[in-house]
């Protein structure tokens, strides 16, 4: 009885062959759409499917394997839906936003992704701005991570000047709004000295830096994040969080700052 759904969906063809056929079809469709080569890195199996009609996968362009994006293909292999445009628009916005961030955090390194939720973009314009993208796909939220060296924003007791940081958040949000970066959630991620020193090395492997640092914390018990704080800018340019919210978040991370201080004392 348990095997009946698989037989109904895939016929007599082994499931792994079906995934291989789907991966080949995805790579072919993406190349036709964007004019470059791609590699499907994960598909089906433990990675799962969104519903009974599609197979879910992750792909990356051969030109930059560090960039990953979602792809779905119908099980008849006829239709392919992808979020590569999300990443094209995100990557084109990294340098401009990083330049803005460095006005307030001189050591800032920025990663960006766009989350259109259940919507798969259909356009292929590589020169599309974020404002144009948001107009076409209003469900989107731009996710901006600003990575900085925590040592530059804490004193010898690992205390932060919270009021100064709060002012930086407000000023950064203002320039984001002025430059058309609405519906944007940004977080400033204060890294340990060791984590910050390894940023460029990790970034060459993956654009998903928060995931990579978190994975290290989980698997190797490293202390990478010392503090994380930020806010959401609405479509009207308003901040979601109040000053009290920022202060509460700083308080939440206080224990982690003390742990980091103790760890430095034993090094």
pLDDT recorded at residue 49: 52
**Can 4-82 and 85-266 be said to share one CATH topology?**
no
Q: What is the mean pLDDT of residues 228-240?
A: 97
pLDDT band (50, 70, 90) for residue 13: low
> What's the whole-model pTM score?
0.90
Residues 127-149 have a mean pLDDT of 98
- Can you give the pLDDT at residue 45? 59
**What is the fold of 85-266?**
Diaminopimelate Epimerase; Chain A, domain 1 (3.10.310)
Q: How confident is the model at residue 265 (pLDDT cuts 50, 70, 90)?
A: low
| 68-105 confidence digits (pLDDT tens) | 999 999 999 999 999 999 999 999 999 999 999 999 99
Asked whether residue 185 carries a pLDDT value surpassing 70, the answer given is: yes
Q: Thinking of the domain 4-82, which architecture would CATH place it in?
A: Roll (3.10)
Which residues have a Cβ under 8 Å from the Cβ of 25 and sit 6 or more positions away?
A: 73, 77, 80
Nearest partner of 60 among 81, 36, 89, 44, judged by Cα: 36
Per-residue pLDDT, 7:
35
Helical axes 243-252 vs 162-178, angle rounded to 10°? 130
Domain chopping of the chain, boundaries: 4-82, 85-266
């Amino acid at each position: 009885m348990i095997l009946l759904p698989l037989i109904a969906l895939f016929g007599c063809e082994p499931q792994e062959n079906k995934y291989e056929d789907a991966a080949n079809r995805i790579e072919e469709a993406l190349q036709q759409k964007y004019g470059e080569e791609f590699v499907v890195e994960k598909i089906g199996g433990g990675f799962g499917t969104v519903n009974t009609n599609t197979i879910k996968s992750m792909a990356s362009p051969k030109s930059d394997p560090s960039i990953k994006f979602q792809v779905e293909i119908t099980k008849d292999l006829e239709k392919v839906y992808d979020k590569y445009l999300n990443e094209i628009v995100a990557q084109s916005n990294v340098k401009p936003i990083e330049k803005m961030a460095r006005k307030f955090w001189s050591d800032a390194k920025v990663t960006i992704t766009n989350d259109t939720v259940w919507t798969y973009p259909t356009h292929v314009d590589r020169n599309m701005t974020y404002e144009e993208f948001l107009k076409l796909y209003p469900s989107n939220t731009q996710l901006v991570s600003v990575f900085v060296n925590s040592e530059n924003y804490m004193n010898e007791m690992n205390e932060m000047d919270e009021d100064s940081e709060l002012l930086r958040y407000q000023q950064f949000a203002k320039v984001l709004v002025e430059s058309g970066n609405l519906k944007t959630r940004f977080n400033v991620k204060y890294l340990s000295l060791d984590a910050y020193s390894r940023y460029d090395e990790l970034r060459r492997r993956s654009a998903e830096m928060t995931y990579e640092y978190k994975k290290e914390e989980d698997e190797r018990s490293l202390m990478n994040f010392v503090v994380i704080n930020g806010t959401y800018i609405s479509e009207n340019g308003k901040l979601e969080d109040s000053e009290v919210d920022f202060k509460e978040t700083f308080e939440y991370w206080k224990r982690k700052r003390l742990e980091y201080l103790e760890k430095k004392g034993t090094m």
